[in-house]
Amino acid sequence: MNYKLFYLLLSAILISSCAQKPNTLTEKEENEGWKLLFDGQSLDNWKMYNGGQVTGWLIEDGSLVALGQGGDIGGDIITKNQYDNFEISIDWKAGKGGNSGLMYHVLEGEKLGAPYLTGPEYQFIDEEGFDGPLEEWQKTGCDYAMHLPDLNKKKLNPAGEWNHSRVVFDNGHVEHWLNGEKLLEFEAWTPDWYKRRDSGKWGNMPKYGLSPIGHICLQDHGAKFWFKNVKIKPLPKKEKEPVSLFNGKDLTGWKIFGTEKWWAEDSLLICESGPDEKYGYLGTERYYKDFDLTLEFKQEADGNSGVFVRSVIEGTKIAGWQVEVAPKNHDTGGIYESYGRGWLEQIPDEKENILIENEWNKMHIKVVGNEITTWLNGTQMVNLKDEKIGAAVGRIALQIHAGGGIKILWRNIELKEL
């Protein structure tokens, strides 16, 4: 007997038997909180973007395969669940000329035609076989059209061979990994991040990258692509200190919608009706989900206004929920839906005298999941639970009501993310 050959064969058998099977979790991974997004057998965790049952994809030899039927719009799949902070691990293989990507914090909506309008993307692409020139910000490992990888650490296997990628989103800190090497890292929602977004490809896509939560997306961009070992580990939210949304000097961190007047003066944020006497909004640059917000307001004229939460603004059309700020006997602290249902919760008549006319008032708004609670000058005004609100994410926004004659002062706008 050739004992050397025997032991070599035995060793190979033992190594093979100990190797991790595709699309499974080790005991260590399970203990660390990893979950499979694809088990090699079903698409139970996935759906079409803005749609239902998955089409144009199939399962082949334990791989999830994009058939190349998609394009710039259409063909992409997303997870049924949404995620905020996470680590994703994925193996992928490009077909010749293949172009794909993994996006996160993707939002759906009637006016959102494609995942890339909201979701940042880790780019996958066959750089050698792609038909056409490629910018550096279009190549594998990029934070697409935003951040470039370290080329000294980039080791990309060609089309037809498997690559392993990881994406980390940890409370705004982002990392891209490829085949065991960290290619790039950055912080989301910093002044540098906004400068990159607004000066490049995303400058005319105002919803890009703003959401702190959303779906994971795999892209079908017109060529076959294979995926396996798709797994995710949710990461905990970090305790955050309260921050001021208004710096007392200018409108940094805010965006004006409409032609009404908004400005900073003497450490105050001032809004006033303009000559058009239309609706106007001042919205935060980024979106928020769960938070505890306090602010003070003083109604110098009329005072018909409000604080919107989880709102989406197009021009001066707003979809969201308004915590009312209004003259006495008009439900300050109540909750109004700006489209569809109107008033969801008005305040009791006996609480109308809590508003102090021509003086500073303090509003406190807490939004967690599907629950909103409001307080005015220390007194709880309403507590509302609503599934539709719970499913939303969006800007915090201050309003000027249409009709003219409105002037309101704001100060001490403090937010704590929850």
User: What's the CATH number where 100 sits?
Assistant: 2.60.120.560
- Where a domain ends, among 183, 213, 234? 234
Question: Which residue in this structure is represented by tokens 């609100």?
Answer: 389
Measure the CA–CA gap between 100 and 75, rounded to whole angstroms: 11
- pLDDT for the residue numbered 222: 83
Condensed to tens digits (0 to 9), the pLDDT of residues 296-338 reads: 999 998 888 999 999 999 999 999 999 999 999 999 999 999 9
Neighbours of 82 (CB within 10 A): 19
Same domain, 173 and 288: no
Its pTM stands at 0.90
Same domain, 50 and 187: yes
Token pair for 36: 């499979």
Condensed to tens digits (0 to 9), the pLDDT of residues 21-53 reads: 999 999 999 999 999 999 999 999 999 999 999
Token pair for 416: 């704590």
Average pLDDT over residues 256-270: 97
Same domain, 285 and 377: yes
9 pLDDT exceeds 70?
no
Decide if 330 is inside a domain.
yes
Decide if 19 is inside a domain.
no
Range of the domain at 56: 24-234
Measured CA distances, 255 to 133, 185, 314, 393 (Å): 36, 27, 12, 17
Same domain, 258 and 184: no
Average pLDDT over residues 86-94: 98
Same domain, 260 and 385: yes
Decide if 3 is inside a domain.
no
Confidence of residue 10 (pLDDT cuts 50, 70, 90): very low
- Where a domain ends, among 217, 234, 251? 234
253 pLDDT exceeds 50?
yes
Same domain, 224 and 335: no
13 pLDDT exceeds 80?
no
- pLDDT for the residue numbered 215: 98
Average pLDDT over residues 155-163: 97
Q: Which residues pair with 106 in a beta bridge?
A: 215
Measure the CA–CA gap between 12 and 22, rounded to whole angstroms: 18
8 pLDDT exceeds 50?
no
- Where a domain ends, among 234, 266, 293? 234
Decide if 168 is inside a domain.
yes
Decide if 16 is inside a domain.
no
Average pLDDT over residues 359-388: 98
- pLDDT for the residue numbered 249: 97
- pLDDT for the residue numbered 5: 54
Decide if 15 is inside a domain.
no
Confidence of residue 12 (pLDDT cuts 50, 70, 90): very low
Tell me the percentage of the chain whose pLDDT exceeds 70: 96
CB within 8 Å of 328: residues ≥ 6 apart: 352, 353, 355, 357
Domain count, the chain: 2
Same domain, 152 and 300: no
Same domain, 180 and 323: no
DSSP 248: S
Tell me the percentage of the chain whose pLDDT exceeds 90: 89
